[in-house]
């Protein structure tokens, strides 16, 4: 977070009250330093998904399922489904439990494994894609995701501003030079993608929102059974 902590807490005060399950997951993430989105980002993802009417939803980076719950709750409103991918088995097992507790089991399909290997195996088109994974691999993810995006589809990537250090002139420890330069180059790459529009929002740790040009058509994944799948 690169803006005042007080502002983040104020923004949270403007959100609808979160249920005990989400609060439990937030406490767990804080104690165990599990990387999850902020409540403001989770709320925004659900709002954006519902506004777009997205039905075919892909998530890369499940962790314990915090953002997955927001996506699945949005999917419940649009008649959609979520496919979520993560390579940490322990966390995905916990995500499966949390999704079940949230009453969303029938709306989420879990794929355990490396997204860079799973993405080329997917067919169909996705209306909404959320990426919250290794920042150094973001461009690799995007290159595999673009062919999977439906016309008018939306791609959201978290943590793209890296505490605000991507801003030229920022002061930070030199050990972060490589990551800062990688993210700067990545954002420039997104900005120059032909056939796509980019907007970057400076909340959370920075959200990049990419929309594929063309008329939006609600789709469903051809091979999505919405049953738990583990490799």
Domains belonging to the chain, first-starting first, are: 5-212 (3.40.50.150)
Task: Output the pLDDT for position 225.
Answer: 44
Determine contact, residues 57/49, Cβ cutoff 8 Å: yes
Tell me which residue has tokens 């709306």.
107
Task: Output the pLDDT for position 222.
Answer: 54
The bridge status of strand 196-201 relative to strand 207-212 is: antiparallel
Position 7 confidence tier, pLDDT thresholds 50, 70, 90: confident
Burial 183-207 (b: 16+ CB within 10 A, else e): bbebbeebeeeeebebebeebbbbb
Structure tokens at 88: 């940490």
Tell me which residue has tokens 């322990």.
90
Reference 129, options 150, 159, 114; nearest CA is 150
Q: Tell me: the pLDDT tens digits for 104-155?
A: 999 999 999 999 999 999 988 999 999 999 999 999 999 999 999 999 999 9
Mean pLDDT score across all residues of the chain: 91
Reply yes or no on whether the pLDDT at 230 is more than 60. Answer: no
More confident position, 201 or 218: 201
Residue 58, sorted as left (phi over 0), alpha (psi -120 to 50) or beta, turns out to be beta
């Amino acid at each position: 977070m690169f803006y005042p902590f007080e502002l983040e807490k104020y923004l949270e005060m403007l959100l609808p009250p979160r249920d005990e399950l989400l609060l439990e997951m937030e406490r767990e993430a804080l104690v165990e330093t599990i990387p999850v989105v902020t409540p403001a980002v989770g709320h925004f993802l659900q709002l954006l998904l519902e506004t777009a009417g997205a039905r075919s939803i892909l998530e890369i980076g499940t962790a314990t399922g915090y953002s997955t719950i927001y996506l699945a709750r949005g999917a419940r409103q649009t008649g959609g489904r979520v496919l979520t991918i993560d390579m940490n088995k322990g966390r995905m097992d916990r995500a499966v439990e949390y999704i079940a507790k949230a009453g969303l089991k029938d709306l989420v399909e879990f794929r355990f494994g490396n997204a860079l290997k799973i993405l080329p195996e997917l067919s169909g088109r996705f209306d909404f894609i959320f990426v919250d994974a290794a920042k150094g691999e973001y461009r690799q993810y995007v290159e595999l995701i673009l062919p999977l995006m439906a016309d008018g589809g939306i791609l959201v990537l978290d943590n793209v501003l890296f505490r605000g250090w991507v801003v030229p002139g920022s002061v930070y420890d030199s050990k972060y030079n490589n990551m800062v330069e990688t993210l700067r180059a990545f954002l420039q790459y997104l900005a120059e993608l032909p056939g796509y529009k980019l907007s970057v929002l400076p909340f959370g740790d920075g959200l990049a929102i990419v929309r594929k040009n063309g008329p939006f058509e609600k789709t469903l994944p051809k091979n999505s059974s919405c049953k738990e799948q583990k490799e």
